[in-house]
Homo-oligomer: A and B are copies of this chain.
């Protein structure tokens, strides 16, 4: 079957190599005997995936050490809620600019 490419900001097309690796490891990641999706997020093996991913991102995007890398759920929608909610600082009130 021909691949169909989704050029949206996200979800969007992923590299075939990444999908093939995900498929190959779906029943057993490394020596774990389980899928990554079945693994405790606090396990040594999962934390290694996490640390390696952060290191690759820092290298690829030249992220300096004084910046934290956060892996967050919810995509853009959650971020657009989280940022103003954190800036509200517990007051329950906020101003906003309607830019048209």
Contacts and interface: CB of A to CB of B under 8 A. Distances in A.
B27 A19 contact: yes
Contact of A6 (B3, B14, B28, B39): B39
A79 interface: no
A84 B4 CA distance: 43
Contact of A22 (B16, B26, B40): B26
A4 B33 contact: yes
Please tell me how many copies of the chain the complex holds. Answer: 2
A23 B23 CA distance: 4
Interface of A: 1-6, 8, 11-14, 16, 19-20, 22-24, 26-28, 31-35, 37-41, 73-74, 78, 88, 90-92
A75 B6 CA distance: 28
A33 B74 contact: no
